[in-house]
A and B are shown apart, each in its own frame.
Chain A
Amino acid sequence: DAGVIQSPRHEVTEMGQEVTLRCKPISGHNSLFWYRQTMMRGLELLIYFNNNVPIDDSGMPEDRFSAKMPNASFSTLKIQPSEPRDSAVYFCASSPAPGQGAISQETQYFGPGTRLLVL
């Protein structure tokens, strides 16, 4: 079975450029999460969706960050304009809704991450 797919795996860009990160959740999962991980701040939840609807975006650092989930199989996280302090590993994770069954109904399955470096 395919896991969570993220692209690109690595991104190097210059300050001021737009960055778009992509995620394909596991088929059948209806919750999707975007996390950012840095040495200083650890693993931070940025935003999460349930049934394609944003539920909590309180972790989005500022207006430069936006996320969309146009359908159940695709989500994007966009940074415009990017800044050096945005450099981090960005993870997407998906989770089945209660009742669908899995190892755990509330387990989160993480993608491999996108390593972003903003120069």
Chain B
Amino acid sequence: GQQVMQIPQYQHVQEGEDFTTYCNSSTTLSNIQWYKQRPGGHPVFLIQLVKSGEVKKQKRLTFQFGEAKKNSSLHITATQTTDVGTYFCAGYDSSNTGKLIFGQGTTLQVKP
């Protein structure tokens, strides 16, 4: 079945350093979504990318969708302690059943 893989699984950075997580799908996605889950919290929607090669920014966060619509990345510039959490990418099943496939997530720790 369709799979969505994320790397790395964990990342520890010093506050102020940059951070990137990568997401790869085994099949072409209609769109890709990113969610953030704070420790002890629930996943919260961040953004959706739809177009091939699309790039969107939210303050220090930059999201990219690959040209082939099979990979995506999230880059955080100058991390802050508030960025701590697990970042999930998710893509809709290509069979259009309405099933959102989540990656395993990348857990970010930021040392002050």
Contact = CB atoms under 8 A, between A and B. Distances in A.
A15 to B, nearest CB: 25
B92 interface: yes
Interface residues of A, number: 21
Contact of A43 (B44, B88, B97): B88
A93 B41 CA distance: 13
A91 interface: yes
B28 interface: no
B41, B100, B101 — most chain A CB neighbours (10 Å): B100
Contacts of B43: 43, 91, 93, 108, 110
Interface of A: 31, 33, 42-43, 45, 48, 50, 55-56, 91, 93, 103-104, 106-113
23 contacts: A42-B102, A42-B104, A42-B105, A43-B43, A43-B102, A45-B99, A45-B101, A48-B99, A55-B97, A55-B99, A56-B97, A56-B99, A103-B48, A104-B45, A106-B100, A107-B33, A108-B45, A108-B100, A110-B44, A111-B42, A112-B41, A112-B42, A113-B42
